[in-house]
Structure 1
């Protein structure tokens, strides 16, 4: 079997497992599991924190206000949303949109790792402290580290603020847009 096709089949089987996941208490309150969206051969993967209310209802990532901010950021940087894969560190909405707990992130981490292995992106954008800390396995100071590119295992990880941060701190818009322009430049580097 073609290795790319085999990778896609594995990811689709994994999605079936995620949709029935009982690994943490988030399974008890979710409406829909939000696995991710985008092409399975994307060169860029965007990772956020967790689904919000709109995402939980629709079963798609970044469809609310933060999604509109993300769309604008991608457009400004010359990246098409249809060309990136978007997911979160946890696949179910935490009650009241609270940040996911460490045990919830740990329960979802194998799913996220398998998604990344199947997609095999060149660039992973870590949107927000929760995503950055989960993927880098250390504390992250967004104020100091946003825009930082870290190469690990042949993949470039870029740290930035979560697009939802712009809802409450509009002054962050230019900062985050600058970070996304760096992503666009990384993509051009190959």
Structure 2
């Protein structure tokens, strides 16, 4: 082997080692090799991306591990992943459907008009955002605020389950039809689910109307307040 060829091989090996060290620092624990296949569309390629691990010990580690997630097609058009916000040891977790346009812009859940109304509801309950934890079933904004699709739900569900497992709340409040149906694995309408206690993996769960619904239908505020009074009574 000539000296020139030897130096080129040595340089290539060194570069490879440097890349592997960078991947380890970025928390890519494994590099998955897939068999060669026919060229696929962008959407199907996204599904073969190494899945961010949910085996984290804190919410901060989970959120950091989700950066750059491309498990579903929503990754192509989102601006920010909206992981969740609040007290990591909250007694109460509120779960909505998915981030809206304003949440996508800032990466914070429930900051639009519906979020302002939610703040008022919490204030009436003598609670604040700093005391509770707020998140959504989906972590990325669906275009046009459409309903989440099955592949998007299956991609995000493990992260929601891990969030709830880490927080260990005393109770959960689901906001709107979709969140209630997803956590309870039911197709019953929100009108029948709300106002009654249910369970999610042993945790008491109270479904209620979404704040966005209340903006369109102010008459729903009274039933929501009745639901929240049951929550306050349960919290003591």
- With the length of structure 2 as denominator, give the TM-score of the two structures: 0.73
d(CA) in 1 for partners of 2:80, 2:215: 24
Find the counterpart in structure 1 of residue 94 from structure 2.
46
The Cα of 1:8 is off from its aligned counterpart by 8.1
Q: How does 1:133-152 map to 2 (within 5 A)?
A: 133-152=181-200
Find the counterpart in structure 2 of residue 156 from structure 1.
204
Segments of structure 2 that go 5 or more residues without pairing to the other structure are 1-54
Q: Select which of 203, 211, 214 maps to 1:166.
A: 214
d(CA) in 1 for partners of 2:118, 2:173: 12
The Cα of 1:41 is off from its aligned counterpart by 0.4
Find the counterpart in structure 2 of residue 64 from structure 1.
112
How many residue pairs get matched? 182
The Cα of 1:12 is off from its aligned counterpart by 2.1
> Secondary structure, in 3 states, of the residue corresponding to 1:19?
coil
The Cα of 1:38 is off from its aligned counterpart by 0.2
Find the counterpart in structure 1 of residue 163 from structure 2.
115
Q: Deviations over 1:116-136 (max 9, x none)?
A: 111111101111111011111
Q: Select which of 10, 13, 17 maps to 2:65.
A: 17
- With the length of structure 1 as denominator, give the TM-score of the two structures: 0.90
Q: Deviations over 1:14-51 (max 9, x none)?
A: 11222221111111110000000001000100000000
Find the counterpart in structure 1 of residue 131 from structure 2.
83
> Secondary structure, in 3 states, of the residue corresponding to 1:61?
coil
Distance 1:119 1:8, change over 3 A: farther
Distance 1:78 1:140, change over 3 A: farther
Higher RCO (CA-CA < 8 Å; seq separation 6+): 1
> Secondary structure, in 3 states, of the residue corresponding to 2:58?
helix
Segments of structure 1 that go 5 or more residues without pairing to the other structure are 1-6
**Off by >4 Å, runs of 4+ in structure 1:** none
Find the counterpart in structure 1 of residue 18 from structure 2.
none
Q: CA RMSD in A?
A: 1.5
d(CA) in 2 for partners of 1:132, 1:153: 14
Which protein shows a greater Rg?
2
> Secondary structure, in 3 states, of the residue corresponding to 1:109?
helix
Distance 1:71 1:176, change over 3 A: same
d(CA) in 2 for partners of 1:57, 1:106: 24
**Alpha-carbon contact 1:67-1:163 (below 8 Å) kept:** yes
d(CA) in 1 for partners of 2:202, 2:165: 12
